[in-house]
Amino acid sequence: MSSDRFCCGVTFIPLREMASESSEMVSSLLFGESFECIDSIENVNNAVWHKVKCSHDGYEGWISNEALELSLDLEPLHRVDKTTIVNNGEFTGLTLSPGSFWFEEHSQSKGMNDIDFLNQFIHAPYLWGGRSVMGIDCSGFTQIYKGFKGRAIPRDASQQYTLGVEVSFEDKLFGDLAFFESDTGNIHHVGIVLNDDYIMHASGEVKIDKFIRYGIESIQTGAPTHRLKSIKRI
């Protein structure tokens, strides 16, 4: 790896909107994901921060100098599809969330089907900018799932919406992405279509709800929660 390219060396690194710990988290890097440093500054508290660009999706954000110092100069190559706690070597105790990368092929990931992969995230708490089982947002969830399927897609729901081909509600299939709109018509939510008119999505937590022609209906309350904009096959 070049001197300005690094790999995340912890479970995850938050990417901040601005160079401050109090700034909003806009995304995150998982263990083994690579990034490029494109700028460095000293903030008002005299702390050094680095603007980075993620290799897998081009997303940009700020990380602390402490996070950079925990980065790796050896790039892991194999995707991990099963939540794993490492039990050997210097990384003993490290939690690898699905979508992370490791140094060698991970036998537990072989042959995993879609449902088993997705079910690892059930009840994961909603976290704006999150991409792991410790906390995840709606588009982080769909991005990690499509990565499992071998398809790299952008970070945000509005970016993901520009991909693929639109399909009707009647023609939807397992694994399609359903996009939902705000009152102003903006894309503000995305979920993964399941079988039998159900959807899995991150809203409060990762959960399964009813997917009806006009949007999402809460299984718990029966109330509509999100208004359908489009279904895309990506």
> Is 201 one of the catalytic residues?
yes
140 within 8 A of 26, measured Cβ to Cβ: no
Q: Which is catalytic among the residues 7, 138, 188, 226?
A: 138
> Is 106 one of the catalytic residues?
no
Give me the torsion for CA of 178, 96, 8, 155, rounded to 10°.
0
> Is 78 one of the catalytic residues?
no
Q: Which is catalytic among the residues 50, 56, 189, 226?
A: 189
CA distance 204 to 124: 9
222 within 8 A of 156, measured Cβ to Cβ: no
CA distance 215 to 179: 9
Hey, how many other C-beta atoms are within 10 angstroms of the C-beta on 116? Answer: 11
Which pair of tokens denotes residue 44?
A: 């008002």
Which pair of tokens denotes residue 66?
A: 């402490």
Closest CA to 218 of 205, 234, 232, 231: 205
Q: Which is catalytic among the residues 50, 56, 188, 201?
A: 201
Catalytic sites, residue numbers: 138, 189, 201
